[in-house]
Amino acid sequence: MSEALFPRSTLPAPPVFNPWRLSVAPMMDWTDRHCRYFHRLLSRHALLYTEMVTTGALMHGDVPRHLRFNAEEHPVALQLGGSEPADLAHCARLGEQWGYDEINLNCGCPSERVQRGSFGACLMAEPQLVADCVKAMVDAVGIPVTVKHRIGIDKTESYGFVRDFVGAVSEAGCRVFIVHARNAWLKGLSPKENREVPPLRYELVHRLQREFAHLTICVNGGITTAQQIGDQLQHVGGVMVGREAYHNPWSMAGWDEAFLGAPATPLTRESVEAQMCDYMAREAAAHGTPWSAVARHMLGLRHGLPGARRWRQVWSDHTLKVLAPHDVSALAHDAIPRAA
C-alpha cells in the first residue's frame, strides 16, 4: 500500500523525533474526541488537535464535557481560545491535569464571533499581549505551549509583520509555531472564504523557518497530497493537514511509515470500520452516545471507491439508530454491490 501511495524516491529521510512533523488541524465541529479516536486508528503517531475550546467554556462551563478524551488519542494537543493571560494560565493547567500533551493558543481564527471575544486572528495585531499570554501559560505548565496563527491580517502582506510577531512571542517561551500560509481578512470574508480567497504564500513560512532555525515552524493550509507533504518537509519542521484528513481520511493510512519513521500498521478500511463499530458500542454503553454522533466522522472512509455514496447513505440514515453499529455496518456493505 505505502509503496504505491508514497514512492520512496520522493520521501524525506526520517528525522530525529519531532512530535510536530505531521499533525491534523483543529477544526470546529469536527475534531472532537470521536473524530480523533478514528484518526488514531489510521495513524498511530500523527499529532492530533482538539477543536478550539474557549477559556470561558472551561472557567464557567462543563469541564469534563470539554476536556474528556480517550487514552488512545495520545499524542493529543488542547487548543485554547482566549486573550487574558491569567485565564489562559488557569485553563492550560486544567489541560495538563487532564493529560494533554500540549497547549496551543489560537491566533488564527478569523470568525466575527471569535473577534468579538478579542481572540483568534485579531491577536496578531497585539504581539506583546500574545507574548504575555504565552508566558503565563509557559510558567503554569510543564508541557509545550505552541501558537497557531496566520501570516498576516487583512491586506497587510509584509513579511516583517509575521516575522516580528514570531520574534516577540518566541521570546516569551514559545518554541513551536503553526502557520496557516494565508492572511486572515477580519472583515468581508466568512471563515470558509478565509480558507480559500487569501492567496497561499508558503514562501513566507519557509523564510520564517530559515530565519528562526532554532524554532519549529509548521506549515498549514491547502496541503492535500503525500507529495505536497514531502515537499513542504524539505523547508519546514512540520506539516499540519486540515480538511483533507477529514474528507479523505484513508490518506492518513500511510503517514506513519512514509513520514514518521514508524513501521506500517496493517490496515484495511473494513478493519478500521469494525474497530469504530466496537468503539460506538462502548460509547453507547458508557455515555449513552448515539452511534450517529460517532459515525459522522468516518463518512469519508470509502472516499473514491465504487459504492461509497450508498455506503455513506446507510451510515447517515438516522432511522437505523435503533440498530447496533455492527448491524448498520452490515447493511452498509450489503448496499455496496448494488451501487457499484
Active site residues: 109
203 within 8 A of 224, measured Cβ to Cβ: no
CA distances from 121 to 71, 112, 117, 167, 187 (A): 31, 10, 11, 17, 12
Beta bridge partners of 159: none
Chain centroid offset of residue 87 CA: 23
150 within 8 A of 111, measured Cβ to Cβ: no
DSSP state of 26: -
Distance, in Å, from the CA atom of 209 to the CA atom of 212, rounded to the nearest integer, reads 5
Distance, in Å, from the CA atom of 185 to the CA atom of 109, rounded to the nearest integer, reads 10
